[in-house]
Structure 1
Amino acid sequence: MDKQTNVTQFLLVGFAFSPEMQFFLFVVFFCIYLLTVTANVAIISLVRVDTRLHTPMYFFLSQLSFLEIWYTSSIVPGLLANLAGWKYVSFFRCITQTYFYFSLGSAEFFLLGVMAIDRYLAICNPLRYPSIMNSKVCIQATSTCWLIGFLSVFFLILLISRLTFCQPAIINHFFCDLPPLLRLSCQETFLEEIIVFFFACSIILTSFLLTVVSYVLIISTVSKIPSTKGRQKAFSTCASHFTVVTILYGTVIFIYVRPNVSYPIDVNKFLGVFNTVVTPLLNPIIYCLRNKEVKDALRKVMNPKSSLRNGIHSDSK
């Protein structure tokens, strides 16, 4: 690491498995990626075509699905190329991948916070909810999430891109993550590490705090509902969002917001796969399985004749 040079490409180690195992992983990850894109596109399409889903909750859900498509697409194609044997990436491509990965991830965290606030307003202030969460406010909220994510990470990546890197430029990961990238620098990176840690804390913990406060207020309000059925109905509107938040925050906080303790690099690789490959597929599955409106809309699209007969039958009653 003492050879200072103008590095033009990096070697991504990826997974040190046999060729047969790498081929197996390629097929598995490729299938998961196709399912992820298809499932999230399906949710976006359902929200657009079914008028029953034209509410703020499902508008934010479609935005989350749109984010997930690009979030997983910033990593998985490169992971598949790595498994196929193309392990070298250019400096520009590496920095670009890092930028989009963290920008989209930051936007997603804030969007989840906005979705928690939306559930709080719907449950705790139902009479004023339609006037507060109108279409203009929804668009402004999602635009702010995108803007914060992309602008905040831009200055962080600008700082990292000015570093000088050393040979051999080997990143022991399957994508250009910031911690292993910083370890390749020939310069002292204490300041950059502090800034990255502060950035991770500010983005993740701020959005996490928004979510926690919203759920504390929701639980406080729902606990005052006298009927058990009413409490169950109120909690059911939050169950899918709460499950997604728990999975995502649990994984990312362990990776980026923890003491500087030495963990095997394979642990971070496994968590990285779970965060970038598995989680984007879990989100649409969770929302579909736990959400009656989404399941009804999907059933209507898959079997329109049956839905029409049910509607006529209901009208005749």
Structure 2
Amino acid sequence: MEPNETFIILDGFMDLEKYRALYFIIMFTAYVLILCSNCTIVCLIWIHKDLHEPMYFFIAALLLNSVLFTTALYPKILTDILSKQVVSYSTCLFQWFTFYAIAGAEFWLLMMMAYDRYMAICKPLQYPTVMNKSKVNVLLAVAWIVPACQVAITITAASQRKLCTFIFRGIICNSTVYKLHCVQSAALHIWGIFVLLNLTFVPLFFNCFTYSRIFIITTKRGPEVRRKALQTCLPHLVVLFNFCWLGTFDVLLARLDAELPKMVRVIMSFQLILYHPLFNPIIYGLKMKKISTHLKRLFCAGKNNKVLM
């Protein structure tokens, strides 16, 4: 432990002494389910050659993003539940970075998926040439690197600010850490708005525009084309809507933190870190026909093996 290390008290859990076991069981169970469900579909996409298409590579990247998110946050949360809710400022900044870098990557991956669907449905003749393996790799790299770099600038600037308050009203560090600073930075606030617009509203606008174009074009091509387009686009739209809905929780936590009761803050925080990583594999596992088929074969094979034993 460094002698000059700054520590922050996490005051996000409600009645921790009373509900410690319940909190731990919920978080640990969720962590295992998130890892198992997401990794299962990622492995299926990796193993089966009929899933080696750009759309499924983007789905695998999205699910891998959920694994990275939970692995970066959950072990520390579980440790906090079992011990003292104290975190070093450097660890707090890392949580802040992880939370928004991966959330931003989620929006950008969904934007890349919208672009992929647009090319596949609206420009099918150009699709094999445009969405080749190297292009997919570049899009995936951009989706992860751009958000990480922008959030890293925010964290670097925040790390230079002096703290006057050491009690954080939350279970993981996010943008509300700036409320602990002695003096609010106008430059940091402006940069934060820019990052918010670039990582969320730009991808959201692109998604709305792209799926609108897909709907307009497929409407002109007949009901059968529209039905097939809806089958592949609907899961992405559901995931996008769900993530945007949960994203509003973070905004509300940041803006209304002082006015929100502790129970409400706990529930909203749990929604952010529990619900979405579990929601994605369920949607793609049930709604994507090829993935659903492979999942059924996997579980049926497992049942047959048990019968034989």
Residue of structure 1 in register with 2:173 after alignment = 176
Q: What is the match of residue 210 of structure 1?
A: 206
- Counterpart residue number, 2:307: none
Q: How many pairs are equivalent?
A: 299
Contact 1:95 1:161 in 2 (8 A): yes
Residue identity (%): 26
CA contact (8 A) 1:40 1:66 kept: yes
2:234 maps to amino acid: A
Q: Distance in 2 between matches of 1:119 and 1:271?
A: 32
Structure-1 residue corresponding to 2:188: 192
Q: Of 239, 248, 264, which aligns to 1:244?
A: 239
Alpha-carbon deviation of 1:139? 0.3
Question: Structure 1 residues 305 and 81, CA, compared in 2 at 3 Å: closer, same or farther?
Answer: closer
- Taking the aligned partners of 1:11 and 1:251, their CA distance within structure 2 comes to 25
- Quickly say closer, same or farther: Cα 1:18–1:88, change in 2 above 3 A: closer
Partner of 1:278: 275
Which ranges of 4 or more aligned residues in structure 1 deviate by more than 6 Å?
Answer: none
Superposed CA deviations along residues 107-149 of structure 1, whole A, max 9, x for unmatched, are 1211110011111111111122111111110001001111102
Do the aligned residues in 2 keep the contact of 1:40 with 1:284 (CA within 8 Å)? Answer: yes
Q: Do 1:43 and 1:62's aligned partners in 2 also have CA atoms closer than 8 Å?
A: yes
Q: Using the alignment, how far apart are the partners of 1:271 and 1:125 within structure 2? A: 41
In 1, the alpha carbon distance for the partners of 2:21 and 2:253 equals 33
CA distance in 1, matches of 2:178, 2:55: 39
> Normalising by structure 1, what TM-score?
0.87
Q: CA deviation at 1:260?
A: 4.6
Cα deviations by residue, 1:238-286 (Å, 9 ceiling, x for unpaired): 1111110001012214533899556415444433321222100110001
Report the equivalent of 2:291: 294
Tell me the equivalent position of 2:229.
234
Higher helix share: 2
Determine the C-alpha separation between the residues in 2 that align with 1:33 and 1:128: 41
Aligned equivalent of 1:88:
86
**SS of residue paired to 2:83:** coil
Counterpart in the other structure of 1:45: 43
2:57 counterpart of 1:59? yes
Q: What runs of 5+ residues in structure 2 fail to find an aligned partner? A: 305-309
Looking at structure 2, the residues matched to 210 and 37 of structure 1 have their Cα atoms a distance apart, in angstroms, of 30
Contact 1:11 1:171 in 2 (8 A): yes
Counterpart CA distance in 1 for 2:85 and 2:225 is 55
